[in-house]
Structure 1
Amino acid sequence: MIITAAHVPAIVALIAGILILIMPRLLNFIVAIYLICIGLIGLGLLRWLHL
Structure 2
Amino acid sequence: MSMSLKNILPILALILGIASLVAPRFLNVFVAIFLIVYAFVGFGLLR
RMSD (Å) for aligned C-alpha atoms: 1.5
Q: TM-score, normalised by structure 1?
A: 0.73
Q: Structure 2: how far apart are the matches of 1:41 and 1:35?
A: 10
In the TM superposition, residue 6 of structure 1 has moved relative to its aligned partner by: 3.4
Q: Residue 22 in 1 paired to residue 34 in 2? A: no
Structure in which a larger fraction of residues adopt helix: 2
- Deviation digits for residues 17-45 of structure 1, max 9, x if unmatched? 12101101011111100100000011111
How many residue pairs get matched? 47
Q: TM-score, normalised by structure 2?
A: 0.78
Return structure 1 stretches of 4+ with deviation > 4 angstroms. Answer: none
Instruction: State the identity %.
Output: 47
Q: Structure 2: how far apart are the matches of 1:14 and 1:36?
A: 16
